[in-house]
Structure 1
Amino acid sequence: MSFTPSTPSRHLQRLPLALAAAALCTGTAIAQQTPAQAQLSTVDVVGRTESGAYQSEEAAGAKTELPLRELPQSVRIVTRQAIDDLGATKLDDVLDYVGGVSRQNNFGGLWDNVAIRGLPGNENTGMATLLNGFSSNRGFNAPRDLAGVERIEFLKGTAAALYGASEPGGTLNIVSKRPLWKAAHAVEGYVGSHGLKRGAFDSTGPIGENFAYRLNVAVEDRDSFRDHIEARRSVIAPAFTWKLGRDTLLEYAGEVLRHATPLDRGVVAVNNQLGAIPRSRFLGEPADGKVTVENQTHQFMLSHEWSSDWRSRLGLSYRETSVTGFSTEPTALQANGTLTRQRRYRDFASDDLALQAELQGKLRTGAVEHELLLGLESFRFGMDSLMLRANPTAAAPYAINIDNPIYGQAQPTPAANTDTLERQRNTAFYVQDAIKLAPDWRLVAGVRVDNYRQSLNNRRTGVTDRQDPSSTSPRLGLSWLPSAQWTVYANAGRSFRPNLGSDFGTQGFAPETGRALELGAKWESADQRMGATAALFDIRKRNVLTADPVHSGYSVAAGEVRSRGLEFDFAGQLSAHWRLNASMVFNDVEITRDNTLQVGGRLINVPKVNGSVLAVYEDALANGQRYGIGGGVTHMGQRLGQARTQAEANAGTPAFDLPAYTTAKLVGYWRLSPTLRLTLDVDNLFDKTYYTSSYSRVWVTPGTARTVTVGLQARF
């Protein structure tokens, strides 16, 4: 897959004045601190945590004060404690420990792309991802660094009733670290395999009585188990909280991230088999250098408490993204081991301005208690995309031999291939009512109405495609609480996602629509330190783009996909010494209608089975020094590695599959003193060769080789 962009203004070097002015009167839907966060902060307010919680009581992304146990929806939260136990520094490090999450094509290592419950989003921008309740996957986004992240919320099932365009399988919400009103600081340093060097700084505290700040900074430099690959990353994440009055709060969360690494499409399969070449072999061209991704995010939230029951929030988010650089990417493998390649140059830039206004409060109608949310959201998004491409020819194949690669050959000069300007505008209204029908019953009902305007201007052809899809996305969920620890729930909802482009008749495509049904049960221990969720789900998607059977080279919105499955998640503190995180998912995803792909076939990169276990034991030595040791095991089942057509199935052509894999990791820490701590993380403990995702037989991403990381953290 090549990333074919979509939106306005080539190099965005503007904003600060307009944003600063808007900041005085507006803000963003930055999550409020939950009880679980408050509990963690009493142990370790900055830096890596210990003796914290895996179990969380609330999810900011659910936009309700209902505890998670009472919410009629499956939600999996990766807390800061779990992030630290895993030694995770990027989002990719936690994905194997969340049931039902599978990796998709990661654009040569330059972005995050996952599917929840087997349903991927747009192949270029991925599934719906939020940062503090605002969309964060429009544009082009580098792999997320976790230095400034407090927790990660996986909202399973459809969230379109709150957030609009999204996948019915789930939505991901990243919650930023917030300022604390007690001074605390931490410095962290890490060294490890493959030339890893990382430093991080976390500082927070009050400045006067009404202002508090937080600053997270991380710088990382690493090589790779892959030949000719190295990555440089830096992230700065400032935040502040300003008490404008007794009942009025202005909050800010920002992030500036720069990520530079060669675009690496991975290895190739030979005769449908992986392992013919080493997992370390690079098939691009070192002379291309690095592709640079830059992201900048600014979010403000102005909140006001009108009374003990009612509050309002006004939020503003502005994001800029860009990607620039050359790459050499495989196109076809010949029988003699010659791999033809294509050279590309990308220059993409986007800007995204979004506004949210919400009123939330409680009221009673007789004996029934309501928690009502009224919201208005509007955004303006643009992406300017230029891609130059040099295709291989018989006279100039720009090839490399996979068994004996020789780099440094003359490189072709790419010519214009894509030059587009995409604009999106949307205004939406949403309402949600969380109702306590009786002591043992909860009802959550919501609906969102979206009015989109989309255009894609192809500068090379002079053609502009437009569409104005509107959608109404309802959701209804019911919970029964038969005891203080148990909940049985059911929910149903609809989702949509606009399809960009037009058909043979230059008519815009109907948007993708989804219908999701879920039935589940939740359990929580009496001390609220352990929780489990089991869920059955059935999801259908319609209007998936498929090949036009009459007009070659065009598409129609006629495909359909179904996802059904059973999932189980557990997280919590088993005893004073043990904490455990576990998941297991059985997921059957198939194509039920298509003009080209195999009907009854699978979607790529989606396993039928995946699961994980993470366990950590903590105790203290006789001299008072604390230590912890633990480990994790993850399993990912066999997955389809390249989309399979109906013609291939009819001809009996073997499918290309990625083999199942099981990996293990080791984690440990030793607190040398109240302020100094030593950590050890070993990933892929047994150095297993495995493959995490692919797009085709010549674009296969190998999993990371064994990596040992030693860290030292100091708090002061």
Structure 2
Amino acid sequence: MPRIRRRTLAARALLVSCALPATPSFAQQAIQLDTVVVDGGTGGPAAGTGVGGGLTTDGYVGTAATVGTKTDTELRKVPQSISVVSRQALEDRGVQTLKEALNYTSGVRVGAFGFDPRFDAFYIRGFDVTYNGVYRDGLRELTGNFSIFKTEPYGLDGLSVLKGPSSAVYGSGSPGGLVDLLSKRPTDTPFREVQMQVGSYNRLQAAFDASGPLAGNENVLYRITGLARNADTDLASAPDDRAFIAPALTLRSEDRDTQLTILGEYSDFKTGGNASYVNENGQITGIESGDPAYGDFDQRQGRIGYAFEHRFNDSFTFRQNLRYAHIDADVKYTQIDALLRDEGLATRSAWRIVDKLDSFAVDNQGEARFETGPVEHLVLGGVEYNHVKVNDRIGFGPAPSLDLASLNYGQQLIEGPSDYYADATTRQSQTGIYLQDQAQWNRVVLTAGGRYDWVDTDVTDFISSDASSKDDDSAFSGRVGLTYLFDNGISPYVSYSTSFAPTVGRSLDGTAFKPTRGKQEEIGVKYAPTDLNLTLNAALFRIRQTNVLASDPVNPGFQIQRGEVESRGFEIEATTSLADGLNLTASYTYLDLTLLAGDNEGNTPSGIPAHQVALWADYTVGDGPLVGLGVGGGVRVIGKSYGDDTNSFENGSRAFVDAKLSYDFGGRFPQLEGAFAQINATNLLDEQDPTCASAYCYLDEGRKVIGTLRYRF
């Protein structure tokens, strides 16, 4: 068989990325079936402080976490930039999606593809982390093409953002960093709440959360969290419906040296399969490409796993995190292929993508604390295994034309495709061993670690056997960092870290692609005074990613491995929660992103601004006649960015304003203790200018107002 026919599923499915411009390209998706890890957080008592977990917060301020090291470490000792979004911050801002949770975090870009309710797509330090940088309870959420886990923020106790390459302990992943989500966990103190929400786009939602000792046994704790929502969105073809239930159970010994927390979730989501508007002559139109008659994106997902810990003594602890997860994603959508203005019609096609994903992940860790003379050591060693199996089927067929005069959406029968032109199963396994030492001598902390990974990828194409492939990759990753701890809370640091991510497929001559590599140099300073609930982090960094796939200039439709991207920048972020009721988070990001080799060499990748500024402040009156009244507001400024990778035009800068008004009835009326009302508005000024990426343009989500009534008891 001629070698020219040996295209992998990833190469052939580039056609799909043209059909759905708002979706990250399938070529990017297919290379991201690899692995990573990190840990999450707990909120304050009002949010239900969970047992275990990997994040300690006080109001908005994160003080310690396992993110970055997999050990419970003060954030000021970790030689990389880390941001925290606490449970209280999620509630104050009325966060509804993972993207909204990250809106005020330095170094993170959300909204590059406008309003898209299908995926929580975002970038860290200029690199996409949607497919290989999201973690849940210390284990990576493994993904497929459209089978990407959706996050319900009501089920979270907080999240952490680790910036920069992190393969030294987490395995393969993006050089931009990763986000770890912490599920709500059982609490020692009984906790119950019920909640109702109404708002824009016919939104109606009910939720509940209950936790505490089970049957009065302090060593058997439970938690169950649930939510149901029916809502529309800006897009007529994209609802925002969901049902979510998450049970959790903690079992522990009398001496608390042994603990097992079982975590589960089942969710059913419905949104739209196409989130784009038609573009014409390089400009966005007001014509939706999708159609509610054939446009549902139905996803059912479930996970079950546990976090186990046994402390043998003050020196040695063993931990094991394990999870099995499953996703069924059924995506139906229409797309407008051409506008025939003279005939008053838009020709269309109907598509269907069906993904089924099964994944398994387990991380075994041994932690030892000891001293060698004046040096204190915290040594972590581990073995991690991940496996994911994804079956992906894609089909398309004709659809009746749209009448441009009447815009008869939903009024015609659209049957969808009768067969699939692509049908393939990808299996990927990764095994990694790692070792890390956090050595402290007086005020100096040296963090050094390394990891070796083996990744096996097997793609079986059921349409064309020539497109099947097997690839084996292995890589060593490392990190070394040095931190100095001043008595006044200032902690300067310097670090060097690396990452890798395997790629699937081969070049025209049959050569297997090498893993992409990332390396970062970072220098920064952290400030966390002991007498003030405040953190301030500033960092200068440079990341370079090599072996990036680029289009083959000689053989169109194929790829070669010659791309290189450099990201240089500066970030500063401050967070505080003061005793007088004031909470504040502020951030600024400067990013210089350049394509050093490959397609559009010397240009800046589209959709990523050079400047971002965000400020959120919230104040609650603590006494007097207005006690319990809360007022909050924020502004997010997104600077100019290029609309295409050739840098031929720019997206203008824009500012989004958010606001909050709340009232705690129990402050003034003791008989109403636990009753609370809140109104949140996002994009209050209804900023909806087009934003373009990869020469395709989108609209941001318009103004959204949500009212919440909550009762805790």
Q: TM-score range by the shorter chain?
A: 0.7 to 0.9
Contact residue 72 and residue 477 of structure 1 kept, 8 A: yes
User: Quick one: which of 108, 126, 134 aligns to 1:118?
Assistant: 126
Tell me which of 308, 320, 334 is aligned to 1:328: 334
**What SS does the aligned partner of 1:61 have?**
coil
Aligned pair in 2 of structure 1 residues 410, 214: CA closer, same or farther (>3 Å)?
A: closer
Check if 1:255 corresponds to 2:265: yes
Aligned to 2:676: 677
Q: CA deviation at 1:474?
A: 0.4
Q: 2:38, 2:67 within 8 Å by CA — same for their partners in 1?
A: no
Partner in structure 1 of residue 499 of structure 2:
495
Q: Could you tell me how far 1:484 is from its partner in structure 2?
A: 2.6
The CA distance in 2 between the partners of 1:218 and 1:605, in whole Å, is: 34
**Aligned Cα RMSD in Å?**
2.6
Deviation at 1:269, TM superposition (A): 4.0
CA-CA distance at 1:617 after TM superposition: 1.1
Q: Residues 478 and 452 from structure 1, CA distance in 2 versus in 1: closer, same or farther, beyond 3 angstroms? A: same
Aligned with 2:684: secondary structure?
coil
Distance of aligned partners of 1:98 and 1:401 in 2 relative to their CA distance in 1, 3 Å threshold: farther
1:333, 1:374 → 2: CA distance?
59
The answer (yes or no) to whether the contact 2:618–2:630 under 8 Å persists in 1 is: yes
Q: Distance in 1 between matches of 2:274 and 2:406?
A: 18
Cα distance, 1:308 vs. partner?
1.2
Deviations 1:579-604 (A, max 9, x none): 1101100101111111xx31111223
1:264 match: secondary structure: coil
- Tell me how far apart the structure 1 counterparts of residues 251 and 620 of structure 2 sit (CA, whole Å): 38
What does 1:15-414 align with in structure 2 at a 5 Å threshold? 37=43, 40-41=44-45, 53-62=59-68, 63-103=70-110, 104-105=112-113, 108-121=116-129, 126-139=131-144, 140-207=147-214, 208-244=217-253, 246=255, 247-274=257-284, 276-277=285-286, 281-331=287-337, 340-390=347-397, 399-400=401-402, 405-407=407-409, 408-409=411-412, 411=414, 413-414=416-417
CA distance in 2, matches of 1:196, 1:102: 27
Pick aligned residue for 1:667 from 660, 665, 677? 660
The alignment status of 1:471 with 2:475, answered yes or no, reads yes
Q: Is the 8 A contact 2:352 2:416 kept in 1?
A: no
Q: 1:410 to 1:80 in 2, by over 3 A?
A: closer
* Contact 1:352–1:379 under 8 Å retained in 2: yes
Question: Which secondary structure does the structure 2 equivalent of 1:356 belong to?
Answer: strand
Cα drift, residue 314 of structure 1:
1.7
Change (3 A) 1:518 1:333: farther
Distance 1:403 1:86 in 2: 41
- Pairing partner for 1:522 from 521, 526, 547: 526
Q: Would the alpha carbon gap of residues 588 and 402 (structure 1) be closer, same or farther in structure 2, given more than 3 Å must change?
A: farther
Please tell me whether residue 513 in structure 1 is matched to residue 550 in structure 2.
Answer: no
* 2:575 paired residue number: 571
Give the counterpart letter for 2:434 in structure 1.
Answer: Y
Q: Output the CA distance in 2 between the equivalents of 1:331 and 1:86.
A: 39
Task: Determine if the alignment matches structure 1 residue 456 to structure 2 residue 459.
Answer: yes
What TM-score do the two structures reach when normalised by structure 2? 0.88
- More displaced, 220-229 or 81-90? 220-229
- 1:584–1:107 CA distance, 2 compared to 1 (3 A): closer
Structure 2 residue 698 is matched with structure 1 residue 705: no
The code of the aligned residue for 1:293 comes to Q
Task: Report the AA paired with residue 261 of structure 2.
Answer: E
Equivalent in the alignment of 2:712: 715
User: How many angstroms apart in 1 are the aligned matches of 2:82 and 2:126?
Assistant: 16
Percent identity, please. 27
- Corresponding residue for residue 565 of structure 2: 561
> Which whole-Å CA distance do the structure 2 matches of 1:482 and 1:379 have between them?
40
CA drift at 1:573: 2.1
Aligned equivalent of 2:651: 658
**1:309–1:490 Cα change, 3 Å:** same
Contact 1:540 1:561 in 2 (8 A): yes
SS at match of 1:110: coil
DSSP-derived class of the 2:99 partner: helix
Q: TM-score, normalised by structure 1?
A: 0.87
Q: CA deviation at 1:696?
A: 4.4
CA distance in 2, matches of 1:659, 1:143: 30
In structure 1, what is the Cα distance between the partners aligned to 2:516 and 2:676?
A: 50
Q: Specify the SS of the correspondent of 2:119.
A: coil
Describe the superposition over 1:323-374 as per-residue Cα deviations: whole angstroms up to 9, x where unpaired: 1132112445678696554321111101001111100121111111110000
Cα separation, 2, equivalents of 1:345 and 1:554 = 25
Distance of 2:406 and 2:435 partners within structure 1: 61
Question: What is the rounded CA distance, in whole Å, between the counterparts of 2:551 and 2:40 in structure 1?
Answer: 46
* Contact 1:55/1:571 (<8 A) preserved: yes
Offset of residue 691 of structure 1: 4.4
* Worse-matched range after superposition: 134-143 or 310-319: 134-143
| Larger CA deviation: 474-483 vs 509-518 | 474-483
Q: Distance in 2 between matches of 1:285 and 1:65?
A: 49
| Residue aligning to 1:630 | 632
Give how far 1:403 is off.
7.3
Provide, for residues 272-302 of structure 1, a one-character-per-residue CA deviation record: whole Å limited to 9, x for no partner: 344x53xxx5221221041101111112122
Query: Do 1:498 and 1:511's aligned partners in 2 also have CA atoms closer than 8 Å?
Result: yes
CA distance in 1, matches of 2:446, 2:275: 47
Cα deviation for residue 259 of structure 1 reads: 0.7
CA distance in 2, matches of 1:345, 1:681: 36
Amino acid at match of 2:303: T
In the TM superposition, residue 257 of structure 1 has moved relative to its aligned partner by: 1.4
| CA distance in 1 between partners of 2:319 and 2:339 (Å) | 55
Residue 65 of structure 1: CA displacement?
3.1
Alpha carbons of 1:413 and 1:593: their partners in 2 closer, same or farther (altered >3 Å)? same
Asked whether the 8 Å contact 1:466–1:508 carries over to 2, the reply is no
Q: Distance in 2 between matches of 1:199 and 1:358?
A: 39
Q: Which runs of 5+ in 2 are unaligned?
A: 1-16, 31-35, 51-56, 667-672
The alpha-carbon deviation at position 93 of structure 1 amounts to 1.5
Could you tell me which amino acid in structure 1 is paired with residue 701 of structure 2?
T
Counterparts in 2 of 1:578 and 1:693: CA distance versus 1, 3 Å: farther
Q: Does 1:613 align with 2:606?
A: no
String of CA shifts for 1:138-195, please: whole Å, max 9, x gaps.
2312431111101110101111111111111111111111111121100010101111
Deviations 1:442-462 (A, max 9, x none): 111111100010011111111
Match of 2:3 in 1: none
Q: Separation in 1 of the partners of 2:108 and 2:406?
A: 37
Instruction: State the one-letter code of the partner of 2:225.
Output: N
- Classify the secondary structure of the residue corresponding to 1:161: helix
Instruction: Tell me what 1:18 maps to.
Output: none
Pair 334,643 (structure 1): closer, same or farther in 2 beyond 3 Å: farther
Partner-residue secondary structure (3-state), 1:209: strand
What is the CA-CA distance between 1:620 and the residue it aligns to?
3.3
Q: What's 1:486 paired with?
A: 490
8 Å contact from structure 2 (residues 143, 149) kept in 1: no
